[in-house]
Amino acid sequence: MRGTSAVSPESDDSSNQSQCPAKTPAQIARYLEDLTCKIMHAHNYLKNPAYANLVRQHTAQDLIMHDANVHDCPIPPSVDIETHISNVINLLDTHPCFEFVPTNVTAHVDRATNHAVVWVTEPGVGSDKERMFNRESVSRLHFRRRMEDGAWIFYKHMSIRGGGDFW
């Protein structure tokens, strides 16, 4: 069973604003690091529509889930947000001890191209029965700035290293 939420969608400032208030690259990086943590924590509660909507608000409809290596990420590859949400719910139903716990979150912002990459590690989380989750994973989350309103949108996840062959 997952613990209490680290973020509430009702009180989440980033879910109530479409634009990043930050102006400097360092401020934008901090904003994206915080937003990444909120998105990842919300993945633990996707059956709750408020958390699913928080993820949808900050994620591209054509989200790409991609592995740099074969079968590294516990979430199967997908090419849209709804399939991704379904895949995460299935993972959590199958492995109730699994939890998204982002650590070592670091953003690199390229203002010239309006793109950013956020590096994230997650500790191995699991019980003795689910040892496959006991290896740290490393991921890159790619964001692009939407020209219409200036919002930063998560559009691609690349698993660099995960816990192993999950599916």
Q: How high does pLDDT run on average in the chain?
A: 82
Whether residue 89 has pLDDT greater than 50:
yes
Total-model pTM: 0.83
CA distance 22 to 14: 12
Where residue 72 falls among pLDDT bands split at 50, 70, 90? low
Mean pLDDT value across residues 9-33: 72
CATH number for 23-161 (one of 3.40.640.10, 1.10.10.10, 1.10.3720.10, 3.10.450.50): it is 3.10.450.50
Q: Which of 79, 84, 73, 101 is nearest to 159 (CA)?
A: 73
Domain positions in the chain: 23-161
Alpha helix segments (H runs only) across 11-144:
25-42, 49-57, 81-94
Q: How confident is the model at residue 133 (pLDDT cuts 50, 70, 90)?
A: low
Is-contact 25 107, C-beta < 8 A?
Answer: no
**Which of 17-21, 28-32, 157-161 has the highest mean predicted lDDT (pLDDT)?**
28-32
Tell me the average pLDDT across 83-107.
Answer: 91
* 159 CB-near residues (< 8 Å, 6+ apart): 65, 66, 67, 68, 69, 72, 73, 137, 138, 139
